[in-house]
């Protein structure tokens, strides 16, 4: 692989957090054990006909509910500083509401956290990675403003039970995927498909629910627990395809619709939804005969409440694309977010493909993203809470190794440019249920044998490479693992 020419010799600071990430529904299994309630992914994957590519589900997944010791052993093998995982809301609160706590669910996470802490592996805990309790969905889910109260009540239970040991909480994983994909399309549960309407309603309710959980921590827990609360937004790089004013404006609109919708209310100095997007949706709504904009507004009080409500800025970053005002515009339902912005995207032919259609190796998109974020939103503490590469399986995964090395060089570029990136979580520790793609696309540093009742985990080549990077705190592009024997150092 000649693509990476940089042999930097630069190093990551000692206190930089190297980790891996997973999510509850994707790894835990035990979908109906020990009192866990039904969630929206249980419901979606059990539909007939199945909307999942290989008709699979997360009923067993990687069986992590029964594998605390082995999962932590893998973290120790890699030498991780941190591990990001998510809590299953319906495992802790089977009905979604906080009046009924499931002790077995609390116990599972206690055992996991305690096992990690034995080996100084810091837990980064996501409260919500897409698995809403079904009873709350039956009441409208994120389209109901009461989600703000339900989530706050759940957050109180989480802080109360785990906050003595967990010092970094992430409220939501990827608002775009929750709102746009779940409510404004059919590509994630609950697949509401109220295009051009529900994703905007969800966005306002979600950032407000996040702020509730942030202030709750500040007011009732911070003094005694001393931790931090942030949010993770999926941010890929959208640059203009050419330097024409039209393409620049198209790229700006794309950034605002894909992630500014969630980042701007929390992290910008003005707060509220992004200006050009608000204007565009207002104009389109009027043309379409709506008496008011399809995009809800914030009152001044609401805007002030959400603005600045975070201790850090989490980013899941995977790739990038070039945005055009005129090319590849595609066909979109009316109304819809995609019709509202009406831009096209493409990627350079030389970017290597992964096993996922949407994921190409974009060599400097981390640098571009983070320098942009710092310029636009200011000097936040940033965490890269996911970054990773898919294959169709197999232990020889040069493509993944190249991806991680390239990405980490780009992280160093951004840090050299003064961006305060505090940590990096590789997606993923192990193969898992890849949502609509089932078990077809594999993101793990460890391969999981889903045919084996024991769900045996085996390190891939990239696991050895990542381990060496963590240990050396630098990227040796020439390193080739000598044998495939994994040990705990
Ligand atoms: C992350 O999302 C998720 O947080 C994680 O759970 C997931 O396993 C990981 O990525 C890998 O996918 O197929 O063209 O409709 C990253 C953002 C948004 C990327 C949805 C894939 C589907 C595009 N994801 N997108 S498409």
Q: Whose CA is nearest to atom 15 of ligand 1?
A: 187
Q: Whose CA is nearest to atom 8 of ligand 1?
A: 434
Q: Whose CA is nearest to atom 26 of ligand 1?
A: 358
pLDDT value at 207 more than 70: yes
CB 186 within 8 A of CB 177: no
The 10s digit of each residue's pLDDT in 25-76 is 999 999 999 999 999 999 999 999 999 999 999 999 999 999 999 999 999 9
Is 181 among the residues known to form the active site?
no
The 10s digit of each residue's pLDDT in 178-200 is 999 999 999 999 999 999 999 99
pLDDT value at 283 more than 80: yes
The alpha carbon of 136 and the centre of ligand 1 are apart by a number of angstroms equal to 24
The 10s digit of each residue's pLDDT in 100-125 is 999 999 999 999 999 999 999 999 99
pTM: 0.98
The 10s digit of each residue's pLDDT in 321-370 is 999 999 999 999 999 999 999 999 999 999 999 999 999 999 999 999 99
Residue 176's H or E segment, with its range, is helix 175-176
The alpha carbon of 172 and the centre of ligand 1 are apart by a number of angstroms equal to 15
Q: Is 426 helix (H, G, I), strand (E, B) or coil?
A: strand
DSSP state of 112: H
The ipTM estimated for the assembled molecules is 0.94
| Residue 330: count of CB within 10 angstroms of its CB | 10
The 10s digit of each residue's pLDDT in 243-255 is 999 999 999 999 9
- Reported residue count of the chain is 489
Q: Is 360 helix (H, G, I), strand (E, B) or coil?
A: strand
Task: Please identify, by atom number, the ligand 1 atom nearest to the C-alpha of residue 437.
Answer: 13
pLDDT at 2: 41
Average pLDDT across the chain, whole number? 97
Instruction: Give the closest residue to 447 by CA, choosing from 425, 424, 428, 466.
Output: 428
Task: Give the separation between CA 448 and CA 143, rounded to whole angstroms.
Answer: 36
Is 264 among the residues known to form the active site?
no
Q: How many Å is the maximal CA-CA distance in the chain?
A: 67
**Alpha helices (H) along 381-431:** 398-416
Task: Give the separation between CA 311 and CA 382, rounded to whole angstroms.
Answer: 10
Task: Please identify, by atom number, the ligand 1 atom nearest to the C-alpha of residue 388.
Answer: 11
Instruction: Pull the structure tokens for residue 39.
Output: 């969630």
- In short, whether 28's Cβ falls inside 6 Å of ligand 1 is no
CB 19 within 8 A of CB 82: yes
9 pLDDT tier (thresholds 50, 70, 90): confident
Q: What is the mean pLDDT of residues 5-21?
A: 87
The alpha carbon of 21 and the centre of ligand 1 are apart by a number of angstroms equal to 14
Instruction: Pull the structure tokens for residue 217.
Output: 């921590």
The answer for residues whose C-beta is within 8 angstroms of residue 19's C-beta and 6 or more apart is 80, 81, 82, 83, 84, 122, 124, 423, 424, 425, 426
The alpha carbon of 316 and the centre of ligand 1 are apart by a number of angstroms equal to 10
Task: Give the separation between CA 21 and CA 119, rounded to whole angstroms.
Answer: 17
Q: What is the mean pLDDT of residues 231-240?
A: 98
Task: Please identify, by atom number, the ligand 1 atom nearest to the C-alpha of residue 177.
Answer: 18
Q: Whose CA is nearest to atom 23 of ligand 1?
A: 358
Instruction: Pull the structure tokens for residue 209.
Output: 């629910």
Task: Give the separation between CA 214 and CA 193, rounded to whole angstroms.
Answer: 29
The alpha carbon of 177 and the centre of ligand 1 are apart by a number of angstroms equal to 8
């Amino acid at each position: 692989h000649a693509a990476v020419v940089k042999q930097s010799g630069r190093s990551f600071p000692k206190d930089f957090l190297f980790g891996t990430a997973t999510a509850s529904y994707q790894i835990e299994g035990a979908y109906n054990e020990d009192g866990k309630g039904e969630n929206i992914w249980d419901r979606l994957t059990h539909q007939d006909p199945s909307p999942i590519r290989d008709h699979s589900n997360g009923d067993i997944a990687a069986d992590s509910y029964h594998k605390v010791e082995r999962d932590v052993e893998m973290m120790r093998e890699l030498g991780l500083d941190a591990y990001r995982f998510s809590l299953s809301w319906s495992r802790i609160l089977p009905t979604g509401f906080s009046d009924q706590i499931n002790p077995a669910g609390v116990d599972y996470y206690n055992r996991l956290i305690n096992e990690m802490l034995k080996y100084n592996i810091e837990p980064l805990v996501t409260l919500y990675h897409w698995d809403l309790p079904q009873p709350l969905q039956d009441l409208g889910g994120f389209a109901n403003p009461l989600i703000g109260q339900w989530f706050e009540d759940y957050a109180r239970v989480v802080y109360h039970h785990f906050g003595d040991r967990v010092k970094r909480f992430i409220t939501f994983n990827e608002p775009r995927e929750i709102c746009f994909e779940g409510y404004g399309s059919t590509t994630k549960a609950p697949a509401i498909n109220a295009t051009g309407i529900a994703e905007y309603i969800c966005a306002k309710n979600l950032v407000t629910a996040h702020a509730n959980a942030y202030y709750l921590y500040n007011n009732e827990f911070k003094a005694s627990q001393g931790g931090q609360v942030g949010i993770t937004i999926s941010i890929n790089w959208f640059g203009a395809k050419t330097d024409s004013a039209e393409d620049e404006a198209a790229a700006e609109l794309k950034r605002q619709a894909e992630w500014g919708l969630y980042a701007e209310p929390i992290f910008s100095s003005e707060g509220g939804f992004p200006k050009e997007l608000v204007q565009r949706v207002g104009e389109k709504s009027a043309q379409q005969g709506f008496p008011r904009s399809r995009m809800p507004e914030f009152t001044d009080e609401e805007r002030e409440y959400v603005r600045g409500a975070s201790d850090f800025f989490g980013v899941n970053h995977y790739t990038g694309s070039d945005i055009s005002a005129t090319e590849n515009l595609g066909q979109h339902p009316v109304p819809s977010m995609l019709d509202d912005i009406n831009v096209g995207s493409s990627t350079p032919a030389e970017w290597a493909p992964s096993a996922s259609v949407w994921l190409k190796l974009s060599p400097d998109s981390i640098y571009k993203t983070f320098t942009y974020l710092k310029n636009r939103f200011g000097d936040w503490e940033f965490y890269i809470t996911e970054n990773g590469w898919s294959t169709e399986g197999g232990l020889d995964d040069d493509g993944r190794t190249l991806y991680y090395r390239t990405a980490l060089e780009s992280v160093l570029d951004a840090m050299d440019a003064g961006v305060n990136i505090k940590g990096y979580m590789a997606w993923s520790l192990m193969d898992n249920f890849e949502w609509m793609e089932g078990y077809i696309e594999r993101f793990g540093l460890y391969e999981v044998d889903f045919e084996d009742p024991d769900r045996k985990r085996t390190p891939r080549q990239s696991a050895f490479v990542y381990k060496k990077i963590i240990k050396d705190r630098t990227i040796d592009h020439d390193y080739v693992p000598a044998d495939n024997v994994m040990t705990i150092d």
